Structure formats: C-alpha cells, structure tokens
Amino acid sequence: MIIDPLFYAMAIPSVILIGLSKGGLTGLGVLAVPLMAIVASPMQAAAVLMPILLILDLVAVWTYRKSFDKITLLITIPASIIGIIVGAILVSQVNPNWIRIIIGFIAISFTISHWRNTKENKPRDHSLVRGTVWGSITGFTSFVTLTGAPPYQMYLLPLRLNQRTYAGTFMIFFWMNNLLKIIPFMMLGEMNNTTITTSVILFPISLIFTFIGIWIVRKLPTKIFYEIIYILLFLVSIKLIYDGFTNILV
C-alpha cells in the first residue's frame, strides 16, 4: 500500500473525478491521471486507477443497462479494438505528448464549431466511416495516453442522444475498452500488490461519487447536460494541450 500523504492528497480528488465521470458526467475522468501524476509516474497512477475503473464500469453499466445506443456500440467497439492493438504495438515508439496536443486542438475546434452553430446543430445520423475513425482513434489514445474520452465524444455528441442514452453508451463502450486493455496493460508490469491495495482503499470514495454523478444526470435537463459536457470537453482539451507542450519543453 502507498503510504505517502501527498499521494493521497492528489489521489482522493482523482477518484472523486472518476466517480462523477462514471456516474454520467463524462470527461471529468480524463483529469484523474494527470492529477495523480503530480505525485506518481503516469503508469503507476494508471495502475492504481485501473482496478477502480473496472469495478465502477460494472456499476455504471448496470445502472444504464437499458439506456444505450446499440448502433453506436456496434460501430465503435470493433474499431476501438484496432486502435488498442495499434497502440500496444506502438506505445514504446510514439511520443504521447504530440498525440495529446493533436487531440486537444481537434477537440477545441469541434467545441468552438458547435458553439458557433448552435441554432443549426441538428442530430447527426450514424456513420460507419466516422464511427470507425473515431472509434479507432479512441482505442489508440486511451491506450497510449490514457485519454480516450475526447475523441469518442467527437462522434457521440453530434448524435444528440438523450442524456441517459448518451451516458449509457459512453459507459458501456469504455467498459469494453478497459477490459480489452487489461492484458496488454498487465504485460507492462505496472500492476502489483502495492497498487492493488491502494486501489482497494480508494475505491469506496469513487463509488460514492459515482452515485452522486448518476443522481446529477437524472436531474439535469437534456440541453443543460449537453452544454456541461461541451464545456468539460473544451476544458479537458486545453489541459491536454498544456500537458503535451509542458512535457515536450521540459
């Protein structure tokens, strides 16, 4: 078990963000690893968070089990497998910081375009091409940089699903995505008794905030829900760009 108080000063806010994200406020979870990385290596942070994510995924999937978009999942899950495989092969050869920067700029352009054309934003139809592209990118970035939410949101948000269907689709996709990452992640040798014991200690906090997130999603009107998600995506994108350039320049 990790006993450093400074670690827990960063870890507790991180698992709170993950809990809220798994409750349906998607996007917040992407801030968890960078926050914990202040006091631990990114891979150690990910190793602590992975068991928590997998259990919370089950809670979220059960909660939203009747609220998801099957077509979206049928398109994007197979595509994410391709991205994860490519990510596992290239993880030691690519600079994840440039990927963060590229995804960050694309996501910012996406959100600005949405805000400029608010009156013209009608629900988009499903697209095999767009779904495959963004699903593959999501699988790749979630493995290499541990930030898969922004590219997935760029496919999911324009569909304008109701908030429960949106949250359910998002949760089921990333449950499958995280399951697919277990074997290659464990092969990297980062998960051990120390990280798993730490995960057990932090889990109850994340579970409480998962239910708080579920409650918030149920209470929010659809329009307000989507605007919150777009704002979170914009802020997360700025964070990705900042992290990318900071790590490159150091």
DSSP string computed for 161-224: --HHHHHHHHHHHHHHHHHHHHHHHHHTT---HHHHHHHHHHHHHHHHHHHHHHHHHHHS-HHH
Kindly give the confidence (pLDDT) of every residue in the chain, 250 residues in length, as a single tens digit, with 9 standing for 90 and above: 677 788 888 889 889 988 988 888 776 777 777 777 677 766 677 778 888 888 888 888 888 888 899 999 999 999 999 998 898 888 778 787 888 888 888 888 888 877 876 655 678 889 999 999 999 999 998 887 777 788 898 899 889 888 889 989 998 998 898 888 777 767 766 677 888 888 999 999 999 999 998 898 888 887 788 888 888 888 888 888 888 898 888 7
Determine the 3-state secondary structure of 38 from DSSP: coil
Three-state secondary structure of 18-34: HHHHHCCCCCHHHHHHH
Amino acid at 148: G
Report the phi/psi class of residue 127: left, alpha or beta, with left for phi > 0 and alpha for psi in -120 to 50. beta
Q: Is the pTM of this model over 0.85?
A: no
Asked whether the CA dihedral 154, 160, 163, 169 is positive or negative, the reply is negative
